Amino acid sequence: MQFVQVQGEQVPALGLGTWLLRGDDCRRAVREALEVGYRHFDTAQMYGNEDAIGQVLRSNMVVDRDQLFITTKLNNRNHAPRDVLASTDDSLRRLGIGYVDLLLVHWPVAFEALPATLEAMVKLRDDGKARNLGVSNFTTEQVETARRHAPIFCNQVEYHPFLAQPDQLALARDRGLLLTAYCPLARGQVAHDPTLNEIGRRHHKTAAQVALRWLVDQEPVAAVPKASSRQHLEENLAIFDFELTDEDRDEIAALDRGERFIDPPFAPAWER
Ligand code: NAP
């Protein structure tokens, strides 16, 4: 496993996204992910699966807590300071852990209330319940605002070969932030792309592996692909034994078409 070094932390560059994994499917995927070597898990209050993940973490006797990197995200309705505190306690109870490694504001809704939200998150950090704080789906300008109110560790954004994020990448590098790529497989669509398949053929890898390797090569980027089958779980982790060439990278960069898969009504005005 490759790690991203951010603010003195080592974050596994490849994690498991868990959106839409629920119940038995979620328990099985998380258990198999731990078995094959995943140590970074991405969940959210909104996903309704913290309890299922927690059941596996509690029953897992092999991996020490300090080897895991667990992210959760505040629900949009939990931005008031008292809800930040209470809902995070609920998340920790469901996950069965004493702290999360990263607590994110899931979406920049009610942006004017952000200072109070962040102040409550800082209290959680001071109380040892969240080791690091961050945001998700924030524009670069919104990240800069957030940084004036709290120590921000991460912005998590949609990022894949069909959606370039040069401004977010530049900001993360300038400010020493983790940039987590969500929907890194373009919700599975990368598997059908001829260019990515051709590059994969040259390296005896799949299109998905090419997309993930391209992302995690761009420090400080971590990627959290969701996978439910053991085959996909293993495939997505097996990306550290080959190198993309400059020519490969140029071909992948040319695939950018500004395509967004996640754009709910409460999304901010995206910068590009
Ligand atoms: P994704 O990871 O880009 O794609 C998941 C899809 O790709 C699934 O259908 C999966 O199928 C398939 N897949 C996985 N591995 C594959 C492989 N090797 N070859 C071909 N297909 C493969 O999309 P996502 O789940 O929407 O995003 C990933 C994670 O990002 C989420 O689970 C969540 O944790 C996070 N996220 C965060 C936000 C946010 O607002 N912060 C928004 C969206 C997502 P199988 O399930 O059948 O394996």
pLDDT digits (tens, 9 = 90+) for 4-23: 999 999 999 999 999 999 99
Q: 39 vs 32, 68, 242, 248, CA distance in Å?
A: 11, 5, 21, 28
Q: What is the Cα–Cα distance from 94 to 166, expressed in whole angstroms?
A: 36
- How far is ligand 1, taken at its centre, from the CA of residue 114, in Å? 28
Q: From atom 25 of ligand 1, which residue's Cα is the shortest distance away? A: 226
- Residue 16 forms beta bridges with which residues? 41
* pLDDT over threshold 70, residue 61: no
Single out the catalytic residue among 38, 47, 159, 182.
47
Q: Outline where 15-106 has alpha helix (H).
A: 23-36, 50-59, 81-95
pLDDT surpassing 70 at residue 202: yes
Give the pLDDT of residue 110: 86
Ligand 1 and 235: CB distance under 6 A: yes
Q: Using the structure block, give the residue that is written with the tokens 């994020």.
A: 165
**Residue in 154, 232, 235, 260 to alter for ligand 1 test, most ligand atoms within 8 A of Cβ:** 232
Q: Indicate whether residue 213 lines ligand 1 (CB < 6 A).
A: no
Does the annotation mark 47 as catalytic? yes
pTM above 0.95, yes or no: yes
Q: Does 62 score more than 80 pLDDT?
A: no
Ligand 1 site, residue 134, Cβ cutoff 6 A: no
Contacts of 223 (CB under 8 A, 6+ apart): 13, 14, 15, 159, 180, 181, 184, 212, 215, 216
- Per residue in 137-146, pLDDT (tens digit) is 999 999 999 9
pLDDT digits (tens, 9 = 90+) for 19-59: 999 999 999 999 999 999 999 999 999 999 999 999 999 99
> Percent of the chain beyond pLDDT 90?
96
Whole-angstrom distance, CA of residue 223 vs CA of residue 216 = 7
Question: Does ligand 1 have an atom closer than 6 angstroms to the CB of 187?
Answer: yes
Residues 236 and 14: beta-carbon distance below 8 Å: yes
- How open is the CA angle 92-134-163, to the nearest 5 degrees? 120
Dist CA 180 CA 158 (whole Å) = 8
The reported pLDDT for the residue numbered 60 is 72
